[in-house]
Structure 1
């Protein structure tokens, strides 16, 4: 899929050795492409190196089932109205078992009608983090009881990492070709 952005195009003959090394590591890893923020991050090999490793853990290495990880990513993408993040992860979330009703409610900014308690917990935790920048004692205790302390630490890491992804995608206007945008773009004079 063609990826577009406001970044200068990467050209092999203008890349330094570190950029080529990080690019090769990203392309030979589990992702296999420069989709999402990697198109931007490869411009800064130090950031790309660390961010892509953290991302690989957040996406593939946590104690959370894929369904909950992808749901946390969608909560983040909806909060930040991150076009490419949503475009990439909504299909993965569907395939992982997140209901279409929940996905559409998040995209539309409506209160979601959540079928599963663990999904409701992820949505509430993510929305509390983004709205209040804190989680109250009751929700924290509920999350630890349901998921375990280590998984809650990892879930917060997923929210944080994908907020970085969303900011990167929004600032550099990363888009997936001609796919329709899931969120309305703000007028340029309001940005």
Structure 2
């Protein structure tokens, strides 16, 4: 396992892992992610946080009740708001494969209010940006989200946004990059 040379954290050596670290590694590597790309090599230095965070992340990524396209759109908005280099780098190709139009993703990356072809995309963007900008969501946007997705999925959307903000903070604070990342989507 390699560590990004710009990371503020010490390199992690799986051969020297504690039992707690080994348990987290085993669960992550045998789960739907199958790799440690992203914040996991940061969190592994705190195995209990890593275990809770990776389980929450698995839920937020795969079980929110939102279609993958909308989850990935919300993640891209989060990555752009936090200018999280690795988060964008990892999720941009996933979002495109899930059906997020490239032009829409580029507008989000550039900080331009996108033009939407799909009402669900516009709703996810409005909900996400209101939450990040106003630290709240208006009654009107909340009502639209609940009408479209239901209470449970709307709650899960808030969880997804909180989780990926945590990911972005982790990546940014510790200067982490994605595996194989050689370009940065945001100026530093």
TM range (shorter): over 0.9
* CA deviation map 1:136-187 (0-9, x unaligned): 11111111111111111011111000000000000111113342100001xx
C-alpha spacing 1:178/1:95, structure 2 compared with 1 (3 Å)? closer
Q: Which residue does 1:65 correspond to in 2?
A: 67
Q: Using the alignment, how far apart are the partners of 2:181 and 2:160 within structure 1?
A: 28
Q: Using the alignment, how far apart are the partners of 1:169 and 1:76 within structure 2?
A: 13
Q: Is the 8 A contact 2:78 2:164 kept in 1?
A: yes
Q: Using the alignment, how far apart are the partners of 1:85 and 1:101 within structure 2?
A: 18
Q: Which residue does 1:127 correspond to in 2?
A: 129
Q: Which residue does 2:95 correspond to in 1?
A: 93
* CA deviation map 1:33-64 (0-9, x unaligned): 11000010111111001000000000011110
C-alpha spacing 1:29/1:72, structure 2 compared with 1 (3 Å)? same
* CA deviation map 1:75-128 (0-9, x unaligned): 100000000000000000000000011100000000101110001000000000
Greater displacement, 19-28 / 101-110: 19-28
Q: How does 1:4-43 map to 2 (within 5 A)?
A: 4=4, 5-43=7-45
Q: Is the 8 A contact 1:101 1:113 kept in 2?
A: no
Q: Using the alignment, how far apart are the partners of 1:96 and 1:13 within structure 2?
A: 36
Q: Which residue does 1:182 correspond to in 2?
A: 185
Q: Is the 8 A contact 1:3 1:35 kept in 2?
A: no
Q: Is the 8 A contact 1:67 1:98 kept in 2?
A: yes
Aligned residues: 185
Q: Using the alignment, how far apart are the partners of 1:64 and 1:26 within structure 2?
A: 22
Per the alignment, in what secondary structure is the counterpart of residue 111 of structure 1? Answer: coil
C-alpha RMSD of matched pairs (Å): 1.3
TM-score by length of 1: 0.93
The reply on whether 1:107 has 2:109 as its aligned counterpart is yes
- Identify unmatched segments of 5+ residues in structure 1: 186-191
Q: Is the 8 A contact 2:73 2:121 kept in 1?
A: yes
